[in-house]
Chain A
Amino acid sequence: MIEEKPKTLPPEVIVALQAITGHERTLTSPEDLIAYSYDATWIESPPQVVILPKSAAEISEVLKLANRYKIPVAPRGAGSGLSGGSVPQQGGIALALTLMDRILEIDTENSVAVVEPGVITFALQKAVEKVGLFYPPDPSSLKQSAIGGNIAENAGGARCLKYGVTSDYVRALEVVLPTGEIIHTGGKMVKIATGYNLRHLFVGAEGTLGIVSRITLKLIPLPKYKRTALATFPSVESASVAVTQIMESGLLPASIELMDNLTIRCVEEFKPAGLPLDAGALLLFAMDSNYEQILLSETEAVAQICRECGATSVRVAADDSENDKLWEARRAVSPALARRRPNKLGEDISVPRSALPELVRGIAEIAERFSLPIPVFGHAGDGNLHPNMLCDRRNPQEMERVHAAAAEIFRLAVRLGGTLSGEHGIGLLKKEFMMEALGAEQVELMRRIKTTFDPNGILNGGKLFPTGESSW
């Protein structure tokens, strides 16, 4: 962690920046620099100046200036990321896109929304739902995260099982390239077979290839009916069998969420909801449909398969308010874990669904070997799990064990045919494992792409690629 005090940039750079965004949107006070030094990880590194642009033209001017003076630039949405992707690791300019938060258009004829990167995901969802449309990606941070950040990290969420991740909804992008040119890639149409699919290259690029300044997102019809079911199982294995059988039977829940025994116990301790403390696993199903009868019979089919697979209890919500009650246990996970120990390191590995039991077994073994509590929860339907290492950062020996255990978990996921990150991105936290995850050839190709876009390496440096030193 970098804890040095912010240095200042040459005065003429500040003057030039003020000429672009004005004094009010050029922040240099020590308080401002501290407030832009972090995201939702524990990594901190202050910028030397914070710029709040309001247009692609302003972003372009800032990037041209940064190239001229070789100043690092770190783009930032709401700062709710979980991989350090927006932390200004190299100082320089924090480019905060929060003031570009307009929903420019909801085009019902073409079922798309055109938005600026600072729009909060939840605000967009509320706005499109008013006209009967649906933007499904639902990262847990949807009430605070910005669409721009969702694109940078290719955010997912619980509903991705049925509806896919952020990249599945990106139709077109306006991007300011690191050297200042503004490009438009994609369009409102469904089909595009004209040249490289550049728009998807920017999704998940973590702000290393360009700054997205306008986004056209696909929308779909909003399902009319929803039902939730909750089932407890004696073991993760039996729960996992239920998941694969449900999927094989032709049912497609919007989401299937898993909590393991330790997570259940943490939640019960925090907010007793009558969950069985001896349950090996809990599955939470979200079902939706445009037809109530179909919804009810499909939900019942899911419940039946759970019972056949050895579920110790199955509860199906009778109405919307009960839907909400069943989700309470899942919503309580984060706060429950946060209160158990001073800190937690949340991982985000993703494996093929069939490898789930082996993954959970392996994590339990790692937890025991390093004597760390590691509750596991996440999106069982799509194989994306969040093992959380509960720890105390003030204890250096414990933190060494956390480092080692994290590395083992990454390797386990890769060995099972999975990957480092499903929806949080690599950022600073996982960059040292990129070689193991992707191999030298792929990482090298990515580096060449990066250099092509950003010859001076000004944009979001120190992220994504291994640098040989850990950032945490």
Chain B
Amino acid sequence: MTDNTFDQKIIDNCVRCGLCLATCPTYVVKGVETSSPRGRISILNAVNKGNLNLMDEGVVSQIYECLDCRACEAVCPSGVQYGKLVENAREQIEEKRALHYSMRVRLIRAIALRGLFFRRWLFVAFAFTMLLYQRSGLQWLARKSGILKLLRLAAMEEMLPHIDFPFVRPGQKGWQAQGKEKHKVALFAGCIMSTAFSGIDSATGRVLAKNGATVEVPKEQWCCGALHIHSGDTSGAQDLARRNIAAFEQSDTEYIIINAAGCGAALKEYDHLLHDDPEWSERAITFSRKVRDVSEYLAETGFTPPTANLDLEVTYQEPCHLAHAQRITSQPRRLLKAIPGLRLKEMEDSSLCCGSAGVYNLLNPTIANELVDRKLNNALATGAEALCTANPGCHIQLEAGLKRKKKSMKVRHIVQILDEAYRKEESQ
């Protein structure tokens, strides 16, 4: 390591051409260089040179204003690893900030990062409580009574997605390949995906099986740690990575399949996350090489299009961590277009961040709301009935936005649409 706070080599790779500006959601919204990748790199450069302090209010706010969507990386001709800089900055800021966090912030971080997203039983209990809240009539009562507004929880409560049931459980029985088995694959079930969105996990299993994969759901696996990385809790993320690597080593499959873009990007970077750990670095490389997004796997290994006609107009919004971090853009479109009867209507700026970005919408509501508004207006302008995506964060953000706008457009994951087509095929 150098004496510099940040890797000067990454910073020097930036030739300041400015190609990243137009792809950056915060720059698009604010039109101010400071709120751009090039601006933030120059700020971190100034920190390295001692002209700015990492803990200066303006520096910290820029580092957290970034959505870490990595649209800039996808277009950068010089290959600047901007995401690593920002994540490293957050890690260092959190280390320093932890010393004087208020009790409230410490409590929230402890509950979220080291509680819910760390211990599966707690998360499942929480998801189950939310399920009861939704199905028992309590939600109706809470919304009608105005108590949510009183407790200042209305904005958060509004984001609560419809909770699916039953949940998908690590170690549960998987899905047997239909026809000749092409591969054995392991499903990364995820935290939110295996609970609130367990319907998507199940659909993923069925779609994979339909395409000749035998799907296991390895036990002991849990949250990927992406949220921890984005919040600067690197050691938490590393703990989770080790746990997941060990879990998937137990079932030695050819591929590890993930259906959440944000998690997929994190899983593919476990090698970077653990590269300083002699015991784990090799194992992390092996793990990361096996990871495929479900649409990437299907497109890569050959996929059998459904034969049933699905009369549906769909528009596709690209999750940042699929399009930019994993550079997966054509595969989801290919899958959608292969469904008979389905019409894909492209929207403007389909890859400009929707403003979800983990807990970003809670921290920077103004920018997040402007971004989701842009996204939904572009989606609605296509006249499509369904808005297709591939990430739970986007899913929640878009659904809540549509509810606010009182629009009937439905948000669907790609595999849900595929699953529907296959099921229709089977029922015919």
Q: Which residues of A contact B (CB under 8 A)?
A: 5, 27, 29-32, 34-42, 52, 78-80, 96, 98-99, 101, 118, 120, 122-123, 141, 143-145, 334-335, 338-339, 342, 344
Contact B79 A339 (CB under 8 A): yes
Contact B62 A31 (CB under 8 A): yes
Contact A78 B16 (CB under 8 A): no
Residue among B16, B31, B58, B59 making CB contact with A99, cutoff 8 Å: B31
Contact A143 B78 (CB under 8 A): no
Contact A144 B56 (CB under 8 A): no
Contact B16 A144 (CB under 8 A): no
Contact B19 A144 (CB under 8 A): yes
Contact B51 A141 (CB under 8 A): no
Of the candidate stretches B34-42, B277-285, B320-328, the one touching chain A is B34-42
Contact B56 A78 (CB under 8 A): no
Contact B22 A120 (CB under 8 A): yes
Contact indicator per residue, chain B 26-68, by CB within 8 Å of chain A (1) or not (0): 0000011110101100110010000110001011001000000
- Contact partners of A99 in chain B: CB under 8 A: 31
- Contact partners of A34 in chain B: CB under 8 A: 39, 42-43, 46, 51-52
- B191 adjacent to chain A (CB < 8 Å): no
Give the complex CA separation of A52 and B56 in angstroms.
23
- B245 adjacent to chain A (CB < 8 Å): no
- B107 adjacent to chain A (CB < 8 Å): no
- B18 adjacent to chain A (CB < 8 Å): yes
Contact A38 B19 (CB under 8 A): no
Contact A338 B77 (CB under 8 A): yes
Can you list 17 A-B pairs with a CB-CB distance of less than 8 A? A31-B46, A31-B56, A31-B58, A32-B58, A34-B39, A34-B46, A40-B15, A40-B17, A79-B33, A80-B19, A96-B32, A141-B17, A141-B19, A144-B22, A334-B77, A335-B79, A338-B13
Give the complex CA separation of A348 and B33 in angstroms.
26
Give the complex CA separation of A31 and B55 in angstroms.
12
Give the complex CA separation of A32 and B9 in angstroms.
23
Residue among A27, A41, A338 making CB contact with B34, cutoff 8 Å: A27
Closest approach, in angstroms, between the C-beta of A111 and any C-beta of chain B?
25
Contact A339 B42 (CB under 8 A): no
Give the complex CA separation of A99 and B21 in angstroms.
13
- B12 adjacent to chain A (CB < 8 Å): yes
Closest approach, in angstroms, between the C-beta of B40 and any C-beta of chain A?
8
- Contact partners of B58 in chain A: CB under 8 A: 29-32
- Contact partners of B52 in chain A: CB under 8 A: 30-31, 34
Given A144-B17, A338-B15, answer yes or no on A31-B79 (Cβ-Cβ < 8 Å).
no
Contact A96 B33 (CB under 8 A): yes
Residue among A42, A52, A141, A145 making CB contact with B32, cutoff 8 Å: A52
Give the complex CA separation of A122 and B58 in angstroms.
31
- Contact partners of A120 in chain B: CB under 8 A: 22
Give the complex CA separation of A339 and B19 in angstroms.
16
In the complex formed, the residue of A with least CB distance to B17 is: A40
In the complex formed, the residue of A with least CB distance to B40 is: A35
Give the complex CA separation of A123 and B79 in angstroms.
24
Give the complex CA separation of A27 and B38 in angstroms.
17
In the complex formed, the residue of A with least CB distance to B43 is: A31
Give the complex CA separation of A101 and B30 in angstroms.
12
Number of interface residues of B (CB under 8 A): 30
Give the complex CA separation of A38 and B14 in angstroms.
12
In the complex formed, the residue of A with least CB distance to B34 is: A35
Which B151-185 residues sit within 8 Å CB-CB of chain A?
none
Contact B39 A35 (CB under 8 A): yes
Give the complex CA separation of A52 and B32 in angstroms.
8
Residue among A5, A27, A31, A40 making CB contact with B16, cutoff 8 Å: A40
- Contact partners of B75 in chain A: CB under 8 A: 143
Closest approach, in angstroms, between the C-beta of A45 and any C-beta of chain B?
13
- Contact partners of A118 in chain B: CB under 8 A: 31
Contact B21 A35 (CB under 8 A): no
Contact indicator per residue, chain B 89-119, by CB within 8 Å of chain A (1) or not (0): 0000000000000000000000000000000
Contact A339 B78 (CB under 8 A): yes
Inter-chain pairs besides A52-B31, A339-B79, 19 sampled, C-beta below 8 Å: A30-B52, A31-B43, A31-B56, A32-B33, A32-B34, A34-B51, A35-B38, A35-B39, A39-B16, A40-B16, A78-B18, A79-B16, A79-B18, A96-B32, A98-B33, A141-B18, A144-B20, A144-B21, A342-B12
Residue among A30, A38, A79, A344 making CB contact with B56, cutoff 8 Å: A30
- Contact partners of B59 in chain A: CB under 8 A: 31
Residue among A29, A36, A52, A143 making CB contact with B19, cutoff 8 Å: A143
Give the complex CA separation of A344 and B15 in angstroms.
9
Give the complex CA separation of A263 and B238 in angstroms.
42
Give the complex CA separation of A39 and B42 in angstroms.
11
Give the complex CA separation of A145 and B21 in angstroms.
10
Contact A35 B18 (CB under 8 A): no
Give the complex CA separation of A42 and B34 in angstroms.
18
- Contact partners of A78 in chain B: CB under 8 A: 18, 21
In the complex formed, the residue of A with least CB distance to B49 is: A3
Closest approach, in angstroms, between the C-beta of B339 and any C-beta of chain A?
23
Contact A35 B22 (CB under 8 A): no
Give the complex CA separation of A344 and B33 in angstroms.
23
Residue among B51, B78, B79 making CB contact with A5, cutoff 8 Å: B51
Closest approach, in angstroms, between the C-beta of A324 and any C-beta of chain B?
13
Closest 8 CB pairs of A and B: A35-B39, A335-B77, A31-B58, A80-B18, A35-B34, A144-B18, A35-B33, A338-B78
Closest approach, in angstroms, between the C-beta of B196 and any C-beta of chain A?
38
Contact B22 A143 (CB under 8 A): yes
Given A31-B58, A143-B19, A335-B78, answer yes or no on A38-B42 (Cβ-Cβ < 8 Å).
yes
- Contact partners of A31 in chain B: CB under 8 A: 34, 39, 43, 46, 52, 56, 58-59, 62
Contact B43 A35 (CB under 8 A): yes
Contact B33 A36 (CB under 8 A): yes
Give the complex CA separation of A334 and B15 in angstroms.
10
Give the complex CA separation of A403 and B294 in angstroms.
53
Residue in B18, B75, B77 with the greatest tally of chain A CB atoms within 10 Å: B18
- Contact partners of B39 in chain A: CB under 8 A: 31, 34-35
- Contact partners of A37 in chain B: CB under 8 A: 42
In the complex formed, the residue of A with least CB distance to B19 is: A144
Contact A101 B31 (CB under 8 A): yes
Closest approach, in angstroms, between the C-beta of A77 and any C-beta of chain B?
10
Closest approach, in angstroms, between the C-beta of A315 and any C-beta of chain B?
24
Give the complex CA separation of A118 and B21 in angstroms.
13
- Contact partners of B46 in chain A: CB under 8 A: 30-31, 34
- Contact partners of B42 in chain A: CB under 8 A: 34-35, 37-38
In the complex formed, the residue of A with least CB distance to B39 is: A35
Give the complex CA separation of A212 and B176 in angstroms.
67
In the complex formed, the residue of A with least CB distance to B16 is: A40
Give the complex CA separation of A377 and B42 in angstroms.
29
Closest approach, in angstroms, between the C-beta of A332 and any C-beta of chain B?
9
In the complex formed, the residue of B with least CB distance to A336 is: B77
Give the complex CA separation of A98 and B78 in angstroms.
24
Give the complex CA separation of A339 and B14 in angstroms.
10
Give the complex CA separation of A79 and B37 in angstroms.
13
Residue in A32, A41, A120 with the greatest tally of chain B CB atoms within 10 Å: A32
Closest approach, in angstroms, between the C-beta of A8 and any C-beta of chain B?
15
